[in-house]
Amino acid sequence: MNEAEKVMPHFVFGRRRDIEVQPGAELMLAGFLVTPFRKGHILGETERRRISVVVDRLVSELLAGQVTEDATMAIWENGKPANSVDLPIPYDVMETWMTDKTIIAIRVDPHGKGSLTTVSDDAQMRGEFPRKLMMPI
């Protein structure tokens, strides 16, 4: 079985420590979450709940010291299956997989409160977000 045929994670989180430490940011955790939802899909309550569970897990792992400053984390909701993609995921496989996925910017403050924002362009991938797009998590 080649990499393209293997089971991809439900979510992939890439931590952005550079955003966490920006002056005035005051963030415990920042990064981008690639979701299983198609790009352009309007997130309903079920999808938001799934994302919230993932963010809670990320924060718990961060507080337990299990998230490195340059972490990229593959997340399967019901455990990693035997036929899953090898880790680390090859760049070309990841790039192809995430092309049509909704990407969410995650920002969590030191009190565990945060926001999620759907990322729609390269400026947002660099961490530049208009405030009107932010939604609480």
Q: What is the pLDDT along the chain (137 residues), one digit of tens a residue?
A: 666 678 999 999 999 999 899 888 889 999 999 999 998 888 899 998 999 999 999 999 999 999 999 899 999 999 999 999 988 888 888 888 888 999 888 999 888 887 777 776 554 555 544 333 333 34
Separation of alpha carbons 80 and 31, rounded Å: 22
- Write out the H or E segment, with its range, that includes residue 63: helix 45-63
Maximum Cα–Cα distance across the chain: 48
pLDDT of residue 59: 92
Q: How far is CA 48 from CA 24, 33, 40, 86, in A?
A: 27, 12, 15, 28
Domain count, the chain: 1
For residue 90, say if its preceding peptide bond is cis, omega within 30 degrees of 0.
Answer: no
pLDDT of residue 87: 87
Separation of alpha carbons 82 and 69, rounded Å: 28
pLDDT of residue 120: 62
Distance of CA 126 to the CA centre of its chain: 14
* Sole residue written with tokens 């790009």: 39
CB 45 within 8 A of CB 135: no
pLDDT of residue 90: 85
Q: Which domain holds residue 11?
A: 3-119+127-136
